[in-house]
């Protein structure tokens, strides 16, 4: 009983730390990776709360696919930024 | 409760789920069928059918002395399943939604020339209709959340259908605001569920108390819904979203979507979680409404773009809706009629106005107010519709807007909250000034370089807008009609849901 | 210079006020939460009493597809809406050669093993949903994950605008509405399944929903990621 | 005890997301904040059913499953629109 409660407390602290890290990190990529780990930590919390259905959905949809979406969008914006940058450089050269 | 449900009422209740299924089915068909003319005619036919259903429901509600229709989906009764609820108030709003969406459907058939845009428009438009009808019929808190999300997401996609940068930016901002608002609402739902273990609205209405947790929940839900309804300090997203969308979409967003979120808020305050409401809270909301009237009117007066002007006018008109809160708190029987009147009058007027403005913008190729001088001689019908809708927005006598404001006057006097009357009068004057600014220019003779060239068939699609504009006048002339339905509804049930 | 400094200090003050306000709000909510006794647990008894007639033995599936199937219908509508909204952006890409995707052999052979396994697992998940944790959403997400794996190893799908793809996106709703129509003929009530068939009807809906959900999630990924073309399109 | 712990954690997560949504600018942090707020609400809901560990309320599980799926749909649309916006993205001014 006591050990269970300790585990819950630790898990809650971990979740809060991961959430803070994901939300307030200055680097976008770090934020996304921390968010995916938050999803995994939360999955454990769902299992602790006897919600196995939700845990499966969280690990596949919440952490997995949302993470993939974030990474895909991040990658695309990085490429876009690079392209924009190169266009800007060529434009200034032309001027 | 059981004596109300006699056989004709039970049969009539069968129509309720059709209001959701019909638009949903059409959304799928519109998505799968490629031919745009089939889609168009099918949409118009469904719109008419939908309107007929709504008419049947309203006439039944009247003939059954304002009976409350309830329908347990799947035969599972309230705490386990979801029930649909229709009372006199929501019947009127539902009828209004069906009418306006039919008008917008007909207008859109003319509006979208680009086949690609039309193909994206129709399924999303019918999904939006599904969500709207779902909100007005829903009797379950979590179901309301899902409906809000559906309404928000389809609204966002509708703004973005023309893929221009400004539209996508506006859609993105609207989406963030919408998701944020829905999450605040969902947080409130979770708190309510934490306290009562219930989601059904009529059961909640019977058990809710004014505890601190319920107050918090109501606060979060109200905040989310106020954000989505764009009350003054939280209106920042509205002008962009409404101005950069295609005209039929702006009409739907201003006339219907805002009313959807307002309806939920109104219902939560005055029929579900009433013990948790306070006069102070209602007055604060009313005060922001008053500021919204002034701010929106001033912004509308100073803007250069016609569509932005109409969008800011929406910000101002939303202010009136929120002034209803303190009045409603003290004098519900009378103010409910004002609320119904105001919602219907503003929705019809604003939809007609956006359609007219959309037509002007498309024909003239821009919506710069300064360059629109003399437009009245080219597009008399558009300006005529604009003017009639404007009469209702200003609240001049033979219009629905006048009746609504008149009842608000009366209940403000009755409850000795005379200070709201100042804002009602000033708001009316201000809206008159910004609307006359447009009308004035439209009737002046233009300078040569600002000539607008108009083809003869420019105003073909405006028939439905004209009908809406006429409706705003008719409900003004025939004032008793809506009020009677509301009064009948009040006899059998208290305000919103049945207890 | 002074101006810039002023604006940052103003922003800091604004941030500080937001943080303080929200912390106080959260404190108030937590205080209220701890004051409130646990809610009455009527749902459990109700679900237990009615689960026999629902056609499935997993209570969550019973809630999702029978007692509150209306919510689920609308949720499918939400997904449908997102797929309509995402379709036009499918081809608008600015990616150049990408290093997230690879063509190296070890990954490809791994994917060749993993993909059928994921599909198998998704099928199991779908079937198991009626009596154990699992169901359409989880299966759909797994299937979408399989699609994602294939994309990562450059086995792409084209022409999601076509009629068959579009019918897959709307499949969940079409099947659901068919089931609604069918059961209406039996029971004359919206969404009331005939008791003897309800288990099979639920599985039928879930089967369709799995494909729709998978297709929509996959489409979302593809449209967010953009089209992979060798530096063809440039941002304007 | 467990239920209280997780509901407090849910509220704190929601508040963290709220702060990040209002304070942070940039696409990814906004959408991440929305997701974290969602997780907070889900935790609050699931914690409610943990008051009766022997009689788990399946309704909350159903709600959370629906909520997770709707959240993914919303994030996907948001990222989709965000990637369509031309740079610079910092110009999106949200309160």
pLDDT tens profile B272-289: 998 999 999 999 999 999
Q: What confidence tier does A90 reach under pLDDT thresholds 50, 70, 90?
A: low
Highest-confidence range of B173-187, B431-445, B485-499, D43-57, by mean pLDDT? B173-187
Q: Is the pLDDT of residue B454 over 70?
A: no
Q: Where are the beta strands (DSSP E) in C4-144?
A: none
Q: What confidence tier does A80 reach under pLDDT thresholds 50, 70, 90?
A: confident
Q: What confidence tier does B446 reach under pLDDT thresholds 50, 70, 90?
A: low
Q: Would you give the end-to-end CA distance of chain D in angstroms? A: 38
Average pLDDT over residues B304-322: 92
The pLDDT score that the predictor gives to residue B453 is 60
Task: Give chain A positions within 8 Å (CB) of D19.
Answer: 23
Residue B390's nearest CA partner among B422, B354, B339, B420 is: B354
Domain D2-87 sits in CATH at: 1.10.287.3510
Residue to mutate among D24, D65, D81, D82, with most B CBs inside 10 A, is D81
CB-CB contact of B168 with D86 (8 Å): no
Q: Is the pLDDT of residue B485 over 80?
A: no
Q: When comparing pLDDT for B14 and B43, which is higher?
A: B43
Q: Are chains C and A in contact at 3+ CB pairs closer than 8 Å? A: yes
Chain centroid to CA C116: 21
Q: Is the pLDDT of residue B6 over 70?
A: no
Question: At a CB cut-off of 8 Å and minimum separation 6, what does D55 contact?
Answer: C41, C44, C45
The pLDDT score that the predictor gives to residue C155 is 65
Q: What confidence tier does B261 reach under pLDDT thresholds 50, 70, 90?
A: very high
Q: Is the pLDDT of residue B499 over 50?
A: no
Task: Give chain D positions within 8 Å (CB) of A38.
Answer: 36, 39
Q: Is the pLDDT of residue B491 over 60?
A: no
C78–B153 CB contact, under 8 Å: yes
Q: Which of A61-65, A80-84, C196-200 has the lowest mean pLDDT?
A: A80-84
Distance CA B403, CA B476 (A): 6
**What are the DSSP calls for C79-96, one per residue?**
HHHHHHHHGGGSS---B-
Distance CA B281, CA B287 (A): 10
Domain boundaries, given as residue ranges, for chain D:
2-87
Q: Which of C30, C47, C86 sits opposite D80 (nearest CB)?
A: C86
Q: Would you give the end-to-end CA distance of chain C in angstroms? A: 34
The pLDDT score that the predictor gives to residue A81 is 81
Q: What confidence tier does B63 reach under pLDDT thresholds 50, 70, 90?
A: confident
The pLDDT score that the predictor gives to residue B154 is 95
Q: Which residue has the tokens 């103003």?
A: C10
Distance CA C78, CA B154 (A): 8
Tens-digit pLDDT profile for residues C54-93: 888 899 999 999 999 999 999 999 999 999 999 888 765 4
* Ramachandran class of C233: left when φ > 0, alpha when ψ lies in -120 to 50, beta otherwise: beta
Q: Which of A74-83, B154-163, B456-465, B487-496 has the lowest mean pLDDT?
A: B487-496
Residue C18's nearest CA partner among B88, D18, D31, A14 is: D18
Those of residues 96-125 in C touching chain A at CB distance below 8 A are 96, 98, 100, 125
Q: Which of A6-20, B155-169, B424-438, C2-16 has the lowest mean pLDDT?
A: C2-16
Tens-digit pLDDT profile for residues A53-68: 999 999 998 888 999 9
Q: Token pair of B24, please?
A: 């949903």
**What are the DSSP calls for A38-91, one per residue?**
HHHHHHHHHHHTT-HHHHHHIIIIIIIIHHHHHHHHHHHHHHHHHHHHHHHHHH
- Mean pLDDT, chain C, whole residue set: 83
Q: What confidence tier does C228 reach under pLDDT thresholds 50, 70, 90?
A: low
Q: Is the pLDDT of residue C171 over 80?
A: yes
Q: Is the pLDDT of residue B211 over 60?
A: yes
Distance CA C49, CA C44 (A): 9
Q: What confidence tier does A85 reach under pLDDT thresholds 50, 70, 90?
A: confident
Bridge partners of B86, per DSSP, are B69
The pLDDT score that the predictor gives to residue A36 is 95
CB atoms within 10 A of CB C165: 16
Distance CA B34, CA B32 (A): 6
Residue B312's nearest CA partner among B250, B221, B383, B388 is: B250
Average pLDDT over residues B252-259: 94
Distance CA D22, CA B223 (A): 14
Q: When comparing pLDDT for D53 and C179, which is higher?
A: C179
Residue to mutate among B146, B162, B176, B197, with most D CBs inside 10 A, is B176
Distance CA B424, CA B418 (A): 10
The pLDDT score that the predictor gives to residue B5 is 43
Q: Is C55 on the interface with A (CB under 8 A)?
A: no
Q: Which of A15, A31, A84 sits opposite D9 (nearest CB)?
A: A15
- Mean pLDDT, chain B, whole residue set: 87
The pLDDT score that the predictor gives to residue C232 is 40
Those of residues 9-68 in A touching chain D at CB distance below 8 A are 9, 12, 15-16, 19-20, 22-24, 28, 31-32, 35, 38, 42, 45-46, 48-51, 53-54, 57-58, 61-62, 65-66
Q: Which of B113-122, B167-176, C108-117 has the lowest mean pLDDT?
A: C108-117
Task: Give chain B positions within 8 Å (CB) of D19.
Answer: none
For residue C228, give the 3-state DSSP assignment: strand
Distance CA A71, CA C220 (A): 13
Those of residues 152-211 in B touching chain C at CB distance below 8 A are 153-154, 156-157, 160, 163, 191, 193-198, 211
Which residue from C minimizes the CA distance to B28?
C170
Farthest-apart Cα atoms in chain A, separation: 73
Tens-digit pLDDT profile for residues B348-362: 999 999 999 998 888
Q: What confidence tier does B448 reach under pLDDT thresholds 50, 70, 90?
A: low
């Amino acid at each position: 009983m006591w050990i269970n409660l300790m585990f819950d407390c630790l898990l809650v602290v971990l979740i809060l730390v991961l959430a803070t890290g994901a939300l307030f990190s200055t680097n976008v990529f770090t934020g996304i990776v921390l968010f995916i780990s938050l999803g995994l930590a939360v999955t454990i919390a769902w299992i602790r709360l006897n919600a196995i259905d939700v845990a499966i959905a969280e690990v596949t949809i919440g952490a997995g696919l949302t993470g993939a979406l974030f990474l895909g969008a991040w990658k695309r914006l990085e490429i876009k930024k690079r392209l924009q940058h190169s266009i800007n450089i060529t434009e200034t050269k032309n001027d | 409760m059981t004596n109300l449900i006699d056989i004709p009422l039970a049969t009539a209740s069968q129509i309720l789920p059709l209001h959701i299924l019909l638009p949903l089915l059409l959304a799928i068909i519109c998505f799968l069928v490629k031919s745009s003319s089939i889609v168009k005619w099918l949409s118009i036919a469904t719109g008419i059918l939908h309107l007929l259903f709504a008419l049947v429901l309203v006439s039944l509600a009247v003939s059954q002395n304002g009976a409350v229709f309830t329908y347990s989906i799947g035969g599972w009764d309230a705490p386990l399943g979801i029930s649909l609820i229709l009372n006199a108030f929501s019947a009127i709003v539902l009828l209004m939604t069906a009418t306006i969406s039919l008008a917008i459907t007909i207008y859109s058939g003319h509006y979208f020339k680009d086949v690609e845009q039309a193909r994206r428009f129709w399924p999303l438009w019918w999904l939006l209709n599904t969500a709207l009808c779902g909100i007005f019929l829903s009797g379950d808190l979590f179901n309301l959340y899902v409906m809000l999300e559906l309404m928000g997401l389809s609204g966002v996609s509708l703004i973005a259908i023309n893929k221009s940068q400004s539209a996508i930016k506006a859609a993105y901002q609207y989406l963030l605001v919408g998701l944020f608002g829905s999450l605040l609402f969902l947080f409130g739902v979770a708190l309510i569920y934490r306290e009562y273990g219930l989601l059904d609205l009529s059961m909640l209405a019977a058990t809710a108390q004014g505890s601190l947790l319920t107050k918090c929940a109501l606060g979060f839900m109200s905040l989310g819904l106020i954000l989505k309804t764009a009350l003054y300090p939280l209106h920042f997203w509205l002008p962009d979203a409404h101005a950069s969308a295609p005209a039929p979409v702006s009409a739907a967003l201003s006339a219907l979507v805002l009313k959807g979120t307002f309806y939920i808020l109104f219902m939560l305050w005055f029929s579900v979680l009433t013990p948790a409401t306070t006069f102070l809270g209602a007055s604060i909301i009313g005060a922001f409404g008053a500021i919204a009237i002034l701010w929106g009117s001033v912004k509308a007066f100073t803007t250069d773009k016609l569509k932005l002007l109409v969008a800011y006018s929406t910000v101002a008109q939303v202010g009136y809706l929120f002034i209803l809160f303190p009045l409603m708190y003290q004098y519900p029987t009378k103010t409910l009629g004002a609320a119904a009147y105001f919602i219907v009058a503003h929705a019809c007027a604003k939809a007609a106005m956006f359609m007219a403005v959309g037509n002007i913008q498309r024909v003239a190729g821009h919506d710069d107010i300064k360059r629109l001088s003399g437009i009245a001689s080219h597009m008399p019908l558009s300006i005529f519709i604009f003017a009639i809708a404007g009469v209702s927005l200003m609240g001049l006598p033979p219009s629905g807007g006048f009746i609504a404001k008149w009842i608000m006057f009366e209940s403000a006097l009755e409850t000795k909250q005379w200070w709201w009357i100042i804002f009602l009068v000033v708001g009316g004057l201000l809206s008159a000034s910004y609307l006359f600014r447009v009308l004035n220019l439209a009737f002046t003779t233009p300078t040569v370089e600002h000539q607008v060239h108009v083809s003869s068939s420019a105003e073909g699609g405006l028939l439905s807008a004209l009908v809406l504009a006429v409706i705003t006048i008719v409900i003004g002339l025939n004032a008793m009609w809506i009020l009677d339905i509301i009064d009948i509804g009040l006899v059998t049930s208290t305000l919103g849901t049945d207890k | 210079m002074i101006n810039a400094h002023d604006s940052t200090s103003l922003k800091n003050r604004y941030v500080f006020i937001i943080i303080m306000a929200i912390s106080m709000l959260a404190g108030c909510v937590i205080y209220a939460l701890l004051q409130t006794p646990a809610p009455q647990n009527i749902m459990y008894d109700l679900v237990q009493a009615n689960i026999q007639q629902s056609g499935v033995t997993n209570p969550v599936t019973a809630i999702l597809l029978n007692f509150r199937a209306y919510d689920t219908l609308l949720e499918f509508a939400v997904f449908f809406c997102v797929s309509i909204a995402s379709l036009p952006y499918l081809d608008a890409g600015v990616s150049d050669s990408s290093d997230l995707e690879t063509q190296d052999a070890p990954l490809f052979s791994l994917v060749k093993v993993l993909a059928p396994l994921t599909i198998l697992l998704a099928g199991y998940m779908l079937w198991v949903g009626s009596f154990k944790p699992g169901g359409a959403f989880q299966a759909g997400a797994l299937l979408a994950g399989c699609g994602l794996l294939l994309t990562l190893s450059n086995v792409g799908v084209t022409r999601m605008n076509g009629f068959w793809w579009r019918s897959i996106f709307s499949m969940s709703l079409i099947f659901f509405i068919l089931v609604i129509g069918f059961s209406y003929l039996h029971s004359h009530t919206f969404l009331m399944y005939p008791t003897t068939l309800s288990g099979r009807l639920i599985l039928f809906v879930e089967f369709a929903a799995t494909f729709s959900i998978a297709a929509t999630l996959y489409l979302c990924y593809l449209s967010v990621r953009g089209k992979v073309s060798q530096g063809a399109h440039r941002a304007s | 005890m467990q239920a209280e712990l997780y509901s407090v954690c849910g509220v704190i997560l929601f508040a963290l997301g709220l702060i990040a949504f209002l304070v942070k600018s940039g696409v990814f942090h906004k959408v991440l904040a929305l997701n974290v707020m969602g997780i907070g609400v889900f935790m609050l809901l699931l914690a409610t059913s943990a008051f009766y560990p022997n009689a788990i309320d399946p309704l909350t599980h159903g709600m959370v499953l629906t909520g997770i799926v709707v959240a993914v749909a919303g994030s996907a649309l948001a990222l989709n629109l965000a990637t369509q916006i031309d740079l610079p993205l910092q110009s999106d001014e949200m309160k």
